[in-house]
Amino acid sequence: MAVRIADRLVFVNTQKTQTVKICTPQNRRGVYEKYYRIEPPYVLPQQKMESTVSQFNSIADLEQWLVNDRKAYRETDNEVRPPVKQPIGDTSESGINDDLGTEVREAVAEVLELLNPDRYSPDEDPWLPQAANLVEESIDYLIQEFLDCPYLHRVEHSIHAQLFHILVSHEELAKRVILGDGFAKTQLIHKEWPESVARENNRRGNFDLAVLSPQLIKTCPSISAFRSGYLEAPIVIEMGLDYDAEHLARDALKLINSKPKRGYLIHLVRELPRERSTEKIVLGIETRFAIKTAYAWTSSGQSAFKLINDRSITEHL
């Protein structure tokens, strides 16, 4: 389970390892600056521990509580150590230099995390292709509806809600699934789901819509991790209404940066001039990235559109 305190992520696990682990400033899971272990009888139940840890405003206060109240002790072998300058060829008695620098230790930890057998892998999820097909059918339906009745919705958020409604009309996407080890139930489709990878200034924005896999949801370590949005959604959707090519490009960069397994970019325009650069992005991005696009432009009875699997833009002029 991940809790954010100030600018750090703190991972808590009192169900299996009885540990509280404080990340380095890079906030990578598996790379810890402080690694505390708590022994019985000072171990609290997972949810109570999560709730207590989340109330601290600083890492220093958390550490003081761990040591004084929970009698926790540090396991420095599991912590990232600062680089140690040694003469070339200098090694430990075992003949191996164990004083790895921070950057090297982070790389090792990251690879070990990737090798974790419990880690969710969209490539090994048999549910995902079927779900993606249903998402694509829903987007195509939305495009056709927009062309038939472009002013059915006044603003973009209303169209987001409509796509949500279309998605949940499919039984397979409307399921409710147990989070993790029985924490709660949740749905598969979510509005404003956090980006998987932070962008400039370590900022995580939100995707307009995301579809979570039942298999992914079952790996959720805690309610707090779910509420913080630290599950990487395999299907994400970005949508724009009545914007220019620059807005479309920014939406595209969000998807490119997070690299979801299935990313969808929808661009809808009413009563504005057609932009060559917009249509160039719509047609070209699929050839370079794992992003599919849908597009509709309408003005004065004329229209141009691209459904999800179209390879060209259809015009009705």
Last residue of a domain, one of 64, 93, 114: 114
pLDDT tens-digit readout, 156-174 = 999 999 999 999 999 999 9
Residue by residue, pLDDT tens for the chain (317 residues) are: 789 998 899 999 887 778 999 998 888 888 889 999 898 888 888 888 988 999 999 999 999 999 999 999 988 877 886 544 444 444 444 444 444 555 455 555 545 555 555 678 899 999 999 999 999 999 999 999 999 999 999 999 999 999 999 999 999 999 999 998 788 899 999 999 999 887 766 577 899 999 999 999 998 877 877 887 878 999 999 999 999 999 999 999 999 999 999 999 999 999 999 999 999 999 999 988 989 999 999 999 999 999 999 999 999 98
* Domain co-membership, 80 together with 12: yes
**CA 122 – CA 15 distance, rounded (Å):** 26
Report pLDDT for 40: 81
* Domain co-membership, 224 together with 157: yes
Shortest CA distance to 214 belongs to which of 187, 190, 195?
Answer: 187
Report pLDDT for 252: 96
97 near 79, Cβ under 8 Å?
no
Last residue of a domain, one of 85, 114, 143: 114
Does the pTM surpass 0.85? The reply is: no
Identify the domain containing residue 19 by its residue range. Answer: 2-114
**CA 49 – CA 17 distance, rounded (Å):** 13
245 near 277, Cβ under 8 Å?
yes
Shortest CA distance to 173 belongs to which of 159, 160, 161, 189?
Answer: 189
* Domain co-membership, 109 together with 130: no
**CA 293 – CA 165 distance, rounded (Å):** 20
* Domain co-membership, 237 together with 301: yes
Report pLDDT for 91: 43
SS3 letters for the chain?
A: CEEEECCEEEEEECCCCCEEEEECCCCCCCCEEEEEECCCCCCCCHHHHHHHHHCCCCHHHHHHHHHHCCCCEECHHHCCCCCCCCCCCCCCCCCCCCCCCHHHHHHHHHHHHHCCCCCCCHHHCCHHHHHHHHHHHHHHHHHHHHHHCCCCCCCHHHHHHHHHHHHHCCCCCCCEEECCCCCCEEECEEEEEECCCCCHHHCCCEEEEEECCHHHHHCCCCHHHHHCCCCCCCEEEEEEECCCHHHHHHHHHHHHHHCCCEEEEEEEEECCCCCHHHHHHHHHHHHCCCEEEEEEEEECCEEEEECCCCCCCEEEC
* Domain co-membership, 72 together with 7: yes
Cα–chain center distance at 178: 19
Tokens representing residue 220 in the block: 């959720």
Last residue of a domain, one of 84, 114, 144: 114
Report pLDDT for 226: 86
pLDDT tens-digit readout, 38-86 = 988 888 888 889 889 999 999 999 999 999 999 999 888 778 865 444 4
Report pLDDT for 202: 58
**CA 40 – CA 227 distance, rounded (Å):** 29
156 near 283, Cβ under 8 Å?
no
* Domain co-membership, 178 together with 42: no
Report pLDDT for 80: 80
* Domain co-membership, 231 together with 185: yes
* Domain co-membership, 192 together with 285: yes
Domains contained in the chain, number = 2
* Domain co-membership, 257 together with 300: yes
* Domain co-membership, 191 together with 257: yes
Tokens representing residue 268 in the block: 């809808």
* Domain co-membership, 107 together with 146: no
* Domain co-membership, 30 together with 93: yes
